[in-house]
Structure 1
Amino acid sequence: MAGGAPPAPGALLCALLWAAAAAPAPGGGPGGSPAPGAFGRLYRGAVNISAERLYAFAYRSQPGQVDAVRVYVNSSSENLQYPVLFVVRQQKGVLSWQVPLIFRGLYQRTYNYQEVSRTLCPSEPAPETGPSEQIIFVDVASMAPFNIAYELLVTRLESFQLETNKPFNFTASPSQPQYFLYKFPQDVDSVIIKVVSDAVYPCSVVSVQDIVCPVYDLDHNVEFNGVYQSMTKQAAITVQRKDFPGEQFFVVFVIKPEDYACGGSVPSSIHGNVNRTWNLQRTKNLQVTIVPSIKRSVYIQAMFFSFLSFLSFYLGSVVVAFVHYISSDVELTGSFGSVLVAGSGIMTSSHPITSSTPEGSSYGAIGTSSSSGGRQLSSPERGPPAGSDTDSSVEEESDFDTMPEIESDKNVIRTKVFLYLSDLSRKDRRIVSKKYKIYFWNIITIAVFYALPVIQLVITYQTVVNVTGNQDICYYNFLCAHPLGVLSAFNNILSNVGHTLLGFLFLLIVLRRDILHRRAMEMKDDYGIPKHFGLFYAMGIALMMEGVLSACYHVCPNYSNFQFDTSFMYMIAGLCMLKLYQTRHPDINASAYSAYASFAVVICLAVLGVVFGKNGMWFWVIFSMIHVLASLALSTQIYYMGRFKIDLGIFRRAAMVLYTDCIQQCSRPMYMLSNVSSPLSPLSAIFGLVYRPRDFASYILGIFICNLLLYLAFYIIMKLRSSEKLLPIPLFCIVATAVVWAAALYFFFQTLSSWEETPAESREKNRPCILLGFFDDHDVWHFLSAAALFFSFLVLLTLDDDLDTVRRDKIPVF
């Protein structure tokens, strides 16, 4: 083999180059003609600046037959200054690479590979042309002034086309990517490409690309075309026939030179080349299976199931209303329907309570037999009828509360050891109702201004996913993500319809009770729990918005929009606690503006916790302090019935209370409600400091839920201890709430994805559908949680209907 010595300088060099160009190529014919090559034969040789090798591989291609050719090359040289260059020429394209093949990684690391294997872009002759002769030229060259040895092997692939429902096993590495062809069968419109591997690492990328040349099958260009996912142990991509005009596509598998993108570690060396041992370990065994996806009929069945399941709640409400109508002339207060739909506060002229009501008393006023002996604050002569809540002539609350004697009266009444409802229902009903209605109007305003930017943002996210093909942006359960139109996971969106439908149904139930209650108020009774429906309306709107925003979140669930799914859950939990407290403390109502501002602070803390809470110990310390202090302030306000002032004198008063109640004499608390959750706050703060949960948003929500459940359990226990009854409907709702919540939480903890991890690690948790072949575990959580929230709201709505015939001066406060 000629040309082993370095070229001479100057004119001699030019002469040698011209001579080399004119001379026959080694291994080729005269005039540089290529040497005929045989498939499956290993060729060895050496090249330098004056000698190159050219091979020609010919074959016959038949119509309807896809012929794929794979080229394997190897060179023992690690000289990056003079690599061996391989150029493959086909009928419709050119493919070239060098050996050593260089990949760039994080921190400018370089990964060099001496073995390279590439699949050539296949060509399929048209049926009308008949068989055709194909020829492939492989040119091997180098600019080195010395010989560099190489190896060349060209083979025809026997298994290049993937078949439906047949697993196919193969091996790939960074320098030896693989791709295969798939053609849609006639009766299949959509397929799911499932890829699994026993090894977590090395990190890999699965890409679906249209039938075009060149095929992007290297780490630095695999993201240039098609749809792609990173992968550790499993990946799944849903592909639809309509997206590929030729009804066929390539499935490309690329192994990344490092595992950083999949959450793995990187080599300890930061500068220079990574050792050869690291490169030899970058081989991964993969199995790919392509299965048909669901048909259009399954979409229709799933939509019918979703809507009919929750419309059955409407039917049940109609049946209950009908039963109430039939039995209303026999039993008003204990009937099944009066509690749920109509309420049991309907008074007729012959009702015994009407005849026993003190003359001139109004709703919220203390009658002549009140245990508190307080004055009557409102009367029929001072304003419009008691049933009119929206009259412009209604006095504001400040007309009463700014009077010094009233303030003094409040302080005296609220320090009694045993309080009754008549002590805390002294304000005019119309004024208090107007304050509670502010919750309803404010939450509608918040919902509009919150939802519109959210919808715009998630549409942008979905557009980016569809345009770029980067399926690492959104954290779906890809094994059960059914696309519809531009939406990638329509099933996760459809399953939220229950929150919206049941929220609207709850609004209808509350409206019905509100209308009947206003009619009953014309009798000006002084019985039962004061019914203010503003918070209930706000809860219904919050439930509907939870469905809307949860659907928006599941358009593209990721790290950046997690708060869409939890914001209104905080509001629901907060509103339920406010309603539970307001039931026995109707005059001690938190301002709607303060309540929603508190919810905003909680949402801000949730965002900060996700951003800084993973490794920031300082954040957990600050949050725990805020949590404990806020809980202490709230408990103090509850304990002192809203009469504790938070100002500069708070420390002196707190020290005095500690001295008198804890040191001077050990007296038991007068009111237990404020002490129910006292141990919970420090315990949850300690838990957060010790374990520092990664899902901070769920941690905050868990605190809310635990407090709510604790308050509700305390309320029910105290109600039973006070010899009060649970009517059939609230008892049924309590049991249904417990059962449905238990089932819902089971599916909630079946984690199918996690935006706290990398997309590839999240896909390890993906699982197939479990309901109708369309819904996964998280969709079932959506269904059950909607029903559980609905029953929970009904518990709060109906829990005290047994007190509608009891005078307020006989109803204890707790």
Structure 2
Amino acid sequence: MTWIIPYQFCIIIIIVIKNIVQKDAEFDVNYNDTVTSENQTIYAFNHTISRNKTEGVRVSVDLLSNKSESPILFVVRQKQAVLSFQVPLILRGLYQRKYPYYDVGRTLCQPPTRAASETQYFFVDVSTLSSQGANYQLRVSRVESFTLQTNKKFSFTASPSQPQYFKYVFQDGVDTVIVKVNSDMAFPCSVMSIQDIQCPVYDLDNNVAFIGMYQTMTKKGAITVQRKDFPSNSFYVVVVVKTEDEACGGPLRFYPLTPDELIDAGNRSKALDVMVSTAINLEAYVMGMLFCLGIFFSFYLLTLLCVCLERRRNVFLNPADMSPAETVCVSTGKTPASPNEYGSFADNGSTMSSEAITDSATSTDNNYGYMERSLESVARSRQESLSSIEEDDYDTLDDIHSDKNIVRTKKFLYVADLARKDKRVLSKKYQIYFWNIATIAVFYALPVVQLVITYQTVVNVTGNQDICYYNFLCAHPLGALSAFNNILSNLGYVMLGLLFLLIVLKRDLAQNRALERHDVNALECGIPKHFGLFYAMGTALMMEGLLSACYHVCPNYTNFQFDTSFMYMIAGLCMLKLYQKRHPDINASAYTAYACLAAVIFFSVLGVVFGRDNTAFWIVFSVIHILATLLLSTQLYYMGRWRLNAGILRRIVYVIYTDCIRQCSGPMYIDRMVLLVMGNIVNWSLAAYGLIQKPNDFASYLLAIAICNLLLYFAFYIIMKLRSGERIKCLALVCILFTAVVWGFALYFFFQGLSTWQKTPAESREHNRECILLSFFDDHDIWHFLSSIAMFGSFLVLLTMDDDLDTVQRDKIYVF
């Protein structure tokens, strides 16, 4: 016969059979005992708690015999919570690797009480399924300084099996605090967490990320906590040491671990200290915003003052009182220098080198037949160059190729030679720069804004503060934004970009009025004024501010290109503007320019994603960099009069033979050759540096290439301008000196490096520093202030540097 016994009776029988012993226990006493599957021990504790004082209670267990076949289970039963853990405590790391810990310490959560004083009981149940038995030591003690005090440092020690947490209560009148955890030890890696007052408290490596806000840390950690996020006006500060260091950039251990490594894994204790300090109040926010607005509005006031002074000066300088000679273009009175004095302006252009002949021959059907035509027979008078012919008509004339070849290959070029196209056509051509960049800005910015809003939402919902690389020691939240100060400091780019657009608009309107009244200076003198690139530069500066603000909503590895894309745009547009000043007819079209800039941004993204220690990528990029430098150098040297086709190798060999072997003649265009040789040296050196060093920050490396080329071309322009007998007016000189000084200070603050997404979030926080300006702005904010001012000053330099030529005839202004 089969007997069926209900499972309830089985449980009763087991309980009856098992020997249960209950002991009244006391705090701060060591209880050494043995537990087997045959017995179970219950330790009963009681303590008095009060509403106005919170004391922590900590349970510490040490397994004395670690060869037990089964772990010991400890269950702590409280009034409103149950805490259970086993010894040895098994924690898992990467790839599910197991780490046993034989010393375990856990702090009990403290449920709130409404009574002024109350005695609470809790019980520690000890049991095991091991028939051999296991020896252990139990100790229950009170935690000193369980409640943290404002601006008072508290030191403690934590390990993976002995986490620590403390309570903080907001003081009256304090709405925001900063919790700072520091350690002199970089490793082992640890996690700090801010959790609401509730049970259970998630204080182990495998569950600390379940609720609240958390971040990994090595030596520094800081989290800004707002009262509105915690209805109880208090929170727990939890510190957990991780079982492995990969999250903090530490070494990756090989698997499986040896017994010695397992022992070392159990000795991962870390000394830390925690301090809670009050954050800034509303007054500091208001002062920070007023300071930011005041700085940049002062530039508007200064510009308005300059405009008023200029108008007042124009009132006294009545054109009717000026002599006719003062109202028309004047000659510089200079004559072309001798070959020994000025290489590029050496003769009257009646001869051409074999290199020019060789490269330009491909653009004509009669090869060198066009050379039989003299320059006088094809040269246009100045009046003809100012005619109202359209660009398309000019470019479809039968003799246009020969005219271009003869004019552009002269050794002695004036601006009049490269300003032959109709101004109305060129103005429309250069306006395309502005409309294109405006279109790019709209389509680029919309998904960026959407993405960073999503990033910020994820951070706020999950509490994972490793997603964004802030300077946590100076990150002031406002609403949903975690670092409002980093966003506010970008306001300068937008305001100064708008101011530059207004200045350009004023000049544009003045130029149009001068053309309408047929002003001779506007028609015949100075550098041809086309403002499309200036409008594009101002728009790019504004977009740099917007996208930099978007990037700083949540700066990280995946969105760094938002902060640099328009920096490439600005550098490229500045170089194009410098070239356009002396080469208005042959400057690149907007479509070509933006296509090249798009390629640069594309490589920037590839470099960020694939560039780290990827030799193949760096080889490909370096080859492309060098080839692009050579192609651009050839384009600039021959003024576009060359062709990249199947005959290029034959023409190169012919040039080398005729100019280097047969007659060993020097370069025909010495000034251009000097610039291009220096440019190639710089770019080849940068390519070699990238290939050898493989810098982690590829975006900054690419930006450094653009800036180096821009500075080199700008220095060449200034030197050639002075060599040509031109001068720099006082306003332009002041702008140059002011901009150089501001750039110097800006770069100093840029290289402070308060955070870096090239490393892990924990390593990045080692560079965090306190605010240094008004307790609101950090070093990087000051970089934003100064760099926006410096960029604005740089644009003013480009706008005003050739004002001294406004009364000089264009056929007396040198091309270089």
TM-score, normalization: structure 1? 0.90
1:734 maps to which residue? Answer: 736
Residue 173 of structure 1 contacts residue 282 of structure 1 at CA under 8 Å; is this kept in 2?
Answer: yes
Which AA in structure 2 matches 1:612? F
Alignment partner of 2:240 out of 251, 254, 269: 254
Unaligned runs of 5+ in 1: 1-9, 29-33, 333-345, 359-369, 384-394
Distance 1:18 1:451, change over 3 A: closer
Distance 1:371 1:183, change over 3 A: farther
| C-alpha distance in structure 1 between counterparts of 2:325 and 2:610, whole Å | 63
Q: Mean Cα displacement is larger for which, 37-46 or 445-454?
A: 37-46
| C-alpha distance in structure 2 between counterparts of 1:270 and 1:752, whole Å | 38
2:359 maps to which residue? Answer: none
| C-alpha distance in structure 2 between counterparts of 1:570 and 1:449, whole Å | 17
Note the 1:476-495 alignment, pairs <5 A: 476-495=470-489
1:770 maps to which residue? Answer: 772
Shift of 1:379: 6.7
Matched, 1:374 2:379: yes
Note the 1:98-247 alignment, pairs <5 A: 98-126=86-114, 129-247=115-233
RMSD: 2.4
1:301 maps to which residue? Answer: 287
Which AA in structure 2 matches 1:580? L
Shift of 1:159: 1.5
2:722 maps to which residue? Answer: 720
Structure 1, residues 775-812: CA drift from partner, whole Å, max 9, x if none? 00000000000000001000000000000110011111
2:428 maps to which residue? Answer: 434
| C-alpha distance in structure 2 between counterparts of 1:533 and 1:372, whole Å | 34
2:466 maps to which residue? Answer: 472
Shift of 1:666: 3.2
Matched, 1:797 2:779: no
1:783 maps to which residue? Answer: 785
Distance 1:70 1:279, change over 3 A: same
Which AA in structure 2 matches 1:481? A
| C-alpha distance in structure 1 between counterparts of 2:321 and 2:541, whole Å | 35
1:590 maps to which residue? Answer: 588
Distance 1:349 1:453, change over 3 A: farther
| C-alpha distance in structure 2 between counterparts of 1:684 and 1:622, whole Å | 14
Matched, 1:574 2:609: no
Which AA in structure 2 matches 1:304? L
Shift of 1:716: 0.6
1:264 maps to which residue? Answer: 250
2:490 maps to which residue? Answer: 496
1:400 maps to which residue? Answer: 394
Alignment partner of 2:648 out of 644, 647, 650: 650
Shift of 1:60: 1.9
Unaligned runs of 5+ in 2: 332-374
The alignment of Structure 1 onto Structure 2 pairs a total of residues equal to 761
Alignment partner of 2:84 out of 96, 119, 133: 96
1:448 counterpart SS class: helix
Q: Mean Cα displacement is larger for which, 501-510 or 686-695?
A: 686-695
1:321 maps to which residue? Answer: 307
Shift of 1:123: 2.5
Distance 1:692 1:287, change over 3 A: same
Shift of 1:372: 9.5
| C-alpha distance in structure 1 between counterparts of 2:128 and 2:485, whole Å | 56
1:625 maps to which residue? Answer: 623
Structure 1, residues 495-547: CA drift from partner, whole Å, max 9, x if none? 00000000000000000000001111232521110000000000000000000
Residue 372 of structure 1 contacts residue 423 of structure 1 at CA under 8 Å; is this kept in 2?
Answer: no
Shift of 1:103: 0.8
Residue 330 of structure 2 contacts residue 809 of structure 2 at CA under 8 Å; is this kept in 1?
Answer: no
Shift of 1:329: 4.0
1:667 maps to which residue? Answer: 666
| C-alpha distance in structure 2 between counterparts of 1:586 and 1:372, whole Å | 24
Note the 1:747-766 alignment, pairs <5 A: 747-766=749-768
Alignment partner of 2:534 out of 516, 533, 536: 536
Alignment partner of 1:49 out of 33, 37, 47: 37
Shift of 1:16: 11
1:404 counterpart SS class: coil
Distance 1:810 1:770, change over 3 A: same
Shift of 1:163: 0.2
Shift of 1:352: 2.9
1:291 counterpart SS class: strand
1:443 maps to which residue? Answer: 437
Distance 1:347 1:182, change over 3 A: farther
Shift of 1:396: 4.8
TM-score, normalization: structure 2? 0.90
| C-alpha distance in structure 2 between counterparts of 1:677 and 1:669, whole Å | 18
Alignment partner of 1:746 out of 717, 725, 748: 748
| C-alpha distance in structure 1 between counterparts of 2:320 and 2:564, whole Å | 42
Shift of 1:45: 1.2
Shift of 1:196: 0.6
Note the 1:503-542 alignment, pairs <5 A: 503-522=497-516, 523=518, 525-542=523-540
| C-alpha distance in structure 1 between counterparts of 2:550 and 2:708, whole Å | 27
| C-alpha distance in structure 1 between counterparts of 2:395 and 2:758, whole Å | 50
| C-alpha distance in structure 1 between counterparts of 2:540 and 2:50, whole Å | 65
| C-alpha distance in structure 2 between counterparts of 1:784 and 1:810, whole Å | 38
Shift of 1:404: 2.7
Shift of 1:589: 1.4
1:660 counterpart SS class: helix
Residue 387 of structure 2 contacts residue 422 of structure 2 at CA under 8 Å; is this kept in 1?
Answer: no
Shift of 1:355: 5.7
2:39 counterpart SS class: coil
Which AA in structure 2 matches 1:411? N
Shift of 1:421: 0.9
Structure 1, residues 401-456: CA drift from partner, whole Å, max 9, x if none? 12231221011011111111111111111111111010000000000000000000
2:454 maps to which residue? Answer: 460
Alignment partner of 2:701 out of 685, 699, 702: 699
Residue 208 of structure 1 contacts residue 227 of structure 1 at CA under 8 Å; is this kept in 2?
Answer: yes
Shift of 1:125: 1.6
Q: Mean Cα displacement is larger for which, 656-665 or 180-189?
A: 656-665
1:352 maps to which residue? Answer: 325
2:74 maps to which residue? Answer: 86
2:179 counterpart SS class: strand
| C-alpha distance in structure 1 between counterparts of 2:692 and 2:252, whole Å | 29
| C-alpha distance in structure 2 between counterparts of 1:397 and 1:24, whole Å | 103
2:28 maps to which residue? Answer: 40
Alignment partner of 2:711 out of 694, 709, 729: 709
| C-alpha distance in structure 1 between counterparts of 2:444 and 2:320, whole Å | 42
| C-alpha distance in structure 2 between counterparts of 1:209 and 1:709, whole Å | 52
Shift of 1:281: 3.0
Shift of 1:22: 2.2
